[in-house]
């Protein structure tokens, strides 16, 4: 009887190891994959793989609040250049204040993370049509993240109403920190 139990355990472990070697650990750890990265998505977020160039994911909230998040790869510029570009997407008006721009940096074993949080009047780009006026969105916020691996960069940008941005700050940070190379 002991041999049967021992053999059953050994065979079960062999099946488990085979499953992990074929499928990886993402399913067990409840991680999703896109491209060559994996991530953990908060329960209140909906993610769709993007068909647009450079975009990997487009994310919205289950609550349909004014909030959109995009995960990019292979876009031009360094982390600092993209952070500066995101800051410049806000109107420099009476409400714009450098003290309202929070940039944090974190160095981990295999990646370097830069986070941005800011609020103000968001200027929606006219995408190259300089004759068209920019659309202004008051009471808007932006959360930005840059994940730098040794050979690749990933950019995460969320924009939306102040309330949606501030209430999703923790989820945003957990999402950014969860991104890892497969």
Domain boundaries, the chain: 1-29, 31-181
41, 32 Cβ separation under 8 angstroms: yes
DSSP 150: T
Task: Output the CA torsion sign for 77, 70, 117, 131.
Answer: positive
Better-scored residue on pLDDT, 2 or 71 = 71
Percent of the chain residues topping a pLDDT of 90: 51
Within a 10 A sphere around the Cβ of 153, how many other Cβ atoms?
Answer: 18
Distance CA 85, CA 98 (A): 14
Better-scored residue on pLDDT, 14 or 84 = 84
Distance CA 143, CA 42 (A): 15
Q: Is the pLDDT of residue 148 over 70?
A: yes
173, 115 Cβ separation under 8 angstroms: yes
Tell me the pLDDT tens digit for each residue of 63-87.
889 999 999 997 788 889 999 999 9
What residues have CB less than 8 Å from 62, skipping those under 6 apart?
43, 44, 45, 46
CATH superfamily of 31-181: Mog1/PsbP, alpha/beta/alpha sandwich (3.40.1000.10)
Burial group, residue 52, by CB count within 10 angstroms (0-12, 13-18, 19+): exposed
Distance CA 158, CA 165 (A): 8
Tell me the pLDDT tens digit for each residue of 101-134.
999 999 998 999 999 999 988 988 766 666 677 7
| 3-state SS class at 10 | helix
User: Residue 76, by phi and psi: left (phi above 0), alpha (psi -120 to 50) or beta?
Assistant: beta
Give the end-to-end CA distance of the chain in Å, rounded to a whole number.
42
97, 82 Cβ separation under 8 angstroms: no
């Amino acid at each position: 009887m002991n041999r049967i139990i021992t053999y059953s355990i050994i065979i079960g472990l062999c099946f488990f190891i085979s499953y992990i070697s074929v499928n990886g650990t993402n399913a067990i750890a409840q991680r999703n994959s896109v491209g060559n990265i994996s991530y953990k998505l908060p329960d209140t977020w909906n993610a769709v793989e993007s068909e647009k160039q450079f975009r990997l994911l487009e994310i919205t909230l289950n609550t349909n609040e004014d909030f959109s998040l995009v995960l990019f790869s292979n876009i031009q510029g360094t982390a600092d250049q993209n952070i500066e570009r995101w800051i410049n997407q806000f109107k420099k008006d009476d409400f714009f204040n450098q003290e309202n721009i929070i940039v944090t940096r974190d160095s981990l074993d295999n990646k370097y993370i830069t986070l941005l949080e800011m609020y103000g009047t968001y200027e929606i780009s006219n995408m190259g049509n300089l004759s068209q006026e920019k659309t202004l969105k008051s009471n808007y916020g932006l959360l930005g993240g840059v994940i730098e691996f040794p050979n690749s960069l990933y950019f995460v940008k969320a924009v939306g109403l102040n309330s949606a941005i501030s209430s999703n700050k923790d989820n945003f940070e957990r999402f950014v920190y969860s991104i890892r190379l497969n």
